Amino acid sequence: MRSKNQQVYVFFADYISRFLSENEATLYIANELSNFGVGMMPLIDHCILRTLDVNKRAGNYLPIGFSHDQALVTL
């Protein structure tokens, strides 16, 4: 079984991969960042998930290591 940190990493790796597959300009930037030894992961400071029911959608992500921040009202 994967740890929660690994699950979150896998989530973002897949998220970034899908994003790059749909955006040539971002793929170029990602490749250049990789050439510099940085990559995309350090640039991810937030992620938007489309939904009609925020609480229901959040329930999908809490088990894999995300947490709800009451002060920021974010997941």
CA distance 10 to 1: 13
Predicted pLDDT at 64: 83
| 4-30 pLDDT tens trace | 778 888 888 888 888 889 889 989 999
Give this prediction's pTM: 0.58
Strand partners, 16: none
Higher-pLDDT residue of 20 and 50 is 20
* Residue among 5, 26, 7 at smallest CA distance from 16: 26
Q: What's phi and psi for 69, nearest 5 deg?
A: -100, 105
Q: List CB contacts of 13: < 8 A, sequence separation 6 or more.
A: 41
Domain ranges of the chain: 4-64
